[in-house]
């Protein structure tokens, strides 16, 4: 879309004006046709359109320097964009969400905003097992063509982004600040990698600093961009449950990974499962569940076949590879701990506690290694906490 700078400045003015949200912006555009005409209108004309005097005064009082800071950011470096709702790269799934932001600030590759996405969120203080699970799931799912979307927070968010990047896949971070601010600062290098391989997105103008009330609002965009949301670890008070609630309200799938009944980080997931979220044990559970939506979403341009499916020989599209169709890494390339676990396993089901005894590894290490080996196709969970080695 070719937007004039006058129109862009007018929309930035409206978006920055206190009291003007998405609904008010759309009312202005519907009444006046363009934002440029709206902001140049008199108070009387704005009043006829249904806007109270205090709103019109707020609109006219937005400092020009604030708008210029947005423009300076936009033109200050490569791969910076401000997307309006009518832009071809504005995400279609988000556009369908009630109160979707009328503009988005994007650093990176805006075309990826319309790729099929899975939101992955969870605790900022996860267990080591939760960190490894988030990384492994994101790595596998990104390797199978899903863009991983999260919030750039410490903990599960960061490990999910990292897993997608390590798989050379796409990942999108939705933040609750202006894009001139990296929060938390510890994730600066991660943010730089995301810009190179994916995108960072915000509805907040340049200069907006972290504020507690902005993070729940941010979560509706994370779920709104995605066809499904996966909760990895969450307490009962976790903001991740807000994201899951948004996903439910938006008609999107919600997935949750169960954990030990003694782990407080699993209680949020267990509550979601009791409320109807889909329990998942492997990344392939998600691919199987989402395969019909992905095929429809991609218009058959890329056909994703869930593991175990039997695609018709008449199909002419190329399936995205799953763990079962990708070549396994050679056993010799596995690290020493993974090889010890494989050596302990056979075709006879072995419980986890016996694997721990035979390998001498900690329960946390065995749990994470089994997940990695399962994702790579070396072992299979056969119920009751038992595992077998694949042929």
Provide the strand spans (E) within the chain: 80-84, 103-108, 117-121, 147-150, 171-174, 199-202, 228-231, 253-256, 278-279, 303-304, 319-320, 350-351, 379-381, 386-389
Burial of residue 247 (number of CB atoms within 10 Å: 0-12, 13-18, 19+): buried
8 A C-beta contact, residue 147 and residue 178:
no
The per-residue pLDDT for 297 is 63
The DSSP line for 199-232 is EEEESSPTTPPP-TTHHHHHHHHHHHT-SEEEE-
Q: Terminal CA-to-CA distance of the chain, rounded, Å?
A: 54
Q: What are the φ and ψ backbone dihedral angles of 255, each rounded to 5 degrees?
A: -120, 150
Quote the pLDDT of residue 52. Answer: 87
Q: In whole angstroms, what is the distance from residue 72 CA to residue 255 CA?
A: 41
pLDDT at position 296:
65
Give the chain's residues under pLDDT 70. Answer: 1-2, 296-329, 364, 375, 382-384
Distances (CA, A) of 51 to 27, 59, 100, 196, 303: 9, 11, 21, 42, 49
Average pLDDT, the chain: 87
Residues 6+ apart with CB under 8 A from 6: 36
Residue 86 is predicted with a pLDDT of 92
What's the CA gap between 47 and 174, in Å, rounded? 35
DSSP 302: S
Instruction: Say what the pTM is.
Output: 0.77
What pLDDT score does 295 carry?
Answer: 72
pLDDT of residue 386: 79
Of 73, 76, 97, whose CA–CA distance to 85 is shortest?
Answer: 97
Give the domains, in start order, of the chain with CATH numbers.
Answer: 1-62 (1.10.150), 110-287 (3.40.50.450), 331-389 (1.10.10.10)
Question: Going by C-beta distance under 8 Å and a sequence separation of 6 or more, which residues neighbour residue 127?
Answer: 233, 263, 265, 364
Count of alpha carbons within 13 angstroms of residue 219, beta-carbon side? 24
The 3 state secondary structure assigned to 69-98 is HHHHHHHCCCCEEEEECCCCCCCHHHHCCC
pLDDT of residue 318: 28
Alpha-carbon torsion 217, 221, 224, 226, what sign?
Answer: negative
């Amino acid at each position: 879309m070719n937007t004039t700078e006058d129109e862009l400045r007018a929309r930035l003015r409206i978006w920055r004006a206190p009291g003007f949200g998405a609904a008010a912006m759309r009312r202005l555009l519907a009444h006046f046709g363009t934002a440029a005409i709206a902001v140049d209108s008199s108070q009387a004309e704005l009043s006829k359109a249904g806007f109270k005097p205090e709103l019109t005064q707020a609109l006219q009082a937005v400092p020009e320097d604030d708008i210029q800071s947005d423009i300076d950011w936009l033109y200050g470096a490569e791969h910076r964009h401000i997307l309006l709702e009518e832009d071809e790269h504005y995400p279609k799934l988000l556009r369908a969400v009630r109160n979707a932001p009328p503009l988005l600030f994007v650093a990176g590759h805006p075309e990826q905003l319309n790729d099929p996405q899975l939101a992955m969120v969870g605790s900022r203080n996860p267990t080591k097992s939760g960190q490894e699970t988030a990384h492994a799931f994101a790595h596998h799912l990104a390797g199978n063509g899903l863009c991983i979307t999260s919030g750039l927070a410490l903990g599960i968010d960061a490990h999910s982004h990292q897993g997608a990047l390590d798989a050379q896949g796409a990942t999108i971070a939705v933040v609750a600040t202006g894009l001139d601010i990296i929060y938390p600062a510890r994730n600066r290098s991660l943010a730089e990698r995301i810009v190179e391989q994916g995108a960072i997105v915000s509805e907040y103008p340049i200069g907006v600093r972290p504020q507690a009330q902005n993070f729940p609002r941010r979560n509706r965009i994370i779920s709104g961009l995605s066809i499904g949301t996966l909760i990895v670890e969450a307490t009962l008070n976790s903001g991740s449950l807000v994201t899951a609630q948004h996903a439910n309200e938006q008609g999107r799938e919600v997935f949750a990974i169960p954990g030990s009944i003694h782990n407080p980080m699993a209680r949020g997931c267990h509550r979601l499962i009791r409320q109807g979220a889909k329990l998942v044990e492997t990344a392939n559970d998600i691919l199987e569940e989402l395969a019909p939506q992905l095929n429809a979403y991609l218009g058959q341009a890329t056909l994703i076949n869930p593991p175990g499916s039997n695609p018709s020989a008449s199909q002419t599209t190329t399936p995205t590879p799953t763990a079962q169709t990708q070549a396994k890494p050679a056993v010799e390339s596995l690290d020493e701990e993974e090889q010890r676990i494989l050596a302990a396993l056979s075709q006879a089901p072995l419980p986890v506690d016996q694997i721990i005894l035979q390998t001498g590894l900690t329960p946390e290490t065995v749990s994470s290694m089994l997940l990695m080996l399962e994702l790579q196709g070396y072992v299979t969970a056969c119920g009751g906490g038992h595992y077998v080695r694949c042929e």
